[in-house]
Chain A
Amino acid sequence: MSAGVLQAKLWYAQRISAMVLGLCVAIHLAIIFYAIRGGLSAQEILGRTQGNILFAIFYEVFVLACFVHAPIGIANILQETFPRSGLARPLSFILALLILVLGTTAVIGVFTGGQL
């Protein structure tokens, strides 16, 4: 794939994931304001999420959209700021891996409450 085609595909993937994230972030902000009333506690969070398949699906979709969106943005910033360093690809791959693995682990964690 030529560099131009790759760039166009990455641009499109980032915009499509942005559309998903737009909805997810708006809902997440509303959940944040609801959740922080009176402080955060593990019991309260797990009470909402444990065994709740809708929460788990919503947040896994959120994680997958982040997994597409954030590394492309980081790669663009690195490539523009340090064009000859070769940092963009490895660092954005590491970020993508961290988001996918830690994000899915977090979703499994709050869904199961540690009772696997």
Chain B
Amino acid sequence: MSARPKLDYRAKSHLSYFAYACHRFSGLLLACFIPLHFLMLSQSLRGAQGFEKSLALTNFWVFKFGEWALVILLAVHLAGGIRLLMIEFGPWKGLRKGWIQISILFAITCGLLFLYFAN
């Protein structure tokens, strides 16, 4: 695989390019976050008290905001990923633009649900 092809503004202004960019961005950030998430959860090996000390970090607003953003990114990556699988493995019906809109709505809904439940 070499460098990605140069795209001009017509390709980049396409809705599918937006979907591609969102999928890349969310996937990259999720991949960076996952080892940290596992590191935090593995503190449970220290027992409930040791685990609680690590969880106390999540009370800081920066971490709360980060969690909220990650839930939204996870929702974007999930719905965008289903769209990709349908394009690649399903019967050919074009670029499934409806799924891009569903992804955006799904991510907004998940973000709002998080805010509702997290007080």
Contact = CB atoms under 8 A, between A and B. Distances in A.
Interface residues of A, number: 50
A33 B114 contact: yes
Interface in B13-53: 24, 27-28, 30-31, 34-35, 37-39, 41-52
Nearest to B31: A70
B2 A114 contact: no
A115 B114 CA distance: 32
Residues of B in contact with A, size category: 35 or more
A3 to B, nearest CB: 8
A46 interface: yes
Given A41-B55, A114-B46, A99 B35 contact: yes
B62 interface: no
Contacts of A102: 35, 38-39, 42
Main secondary structure of the interface of A (DSSP, over half): helix
A33 B2 CA distance: 41
B82 interface: yes
Contact of B71 (A18, A32, A83): A32
Contact of B44 (A28, A36, A45): A45
A33 B82 CA distance: 21
A38 B55 CA distance: 14
B78 A22 contact: yes
Interface of A: 3, 7, 15, 18-19, 21-22, 25-26, 28-29, 32-33, 36-43, 45-46, 63, 66, 70-71, 73-74, 76-77, 79-81, 83, 95, 98-99, 102-103, 105-106, 108-110, 112-116
6 nearest A-B residue pairs (beta carbon): A106-B41, A114-B47, A102-B38, A109-B44, A42-B51, A42-B52
25 contacts: A15-B85, A21-B81, A22-B85, A28-B74, A29-B71, A29-B75, A32-B114, A33-B117, A41-B52, A42-B51, A45-B44, A45-B51, A46-B48, A73-B31, A95-B35, A98-B38, A103-B34, A103-B38, A105-B45, A106-B39, A109-B41, A109-B51, A114-B44, A114-B51, A116-B45
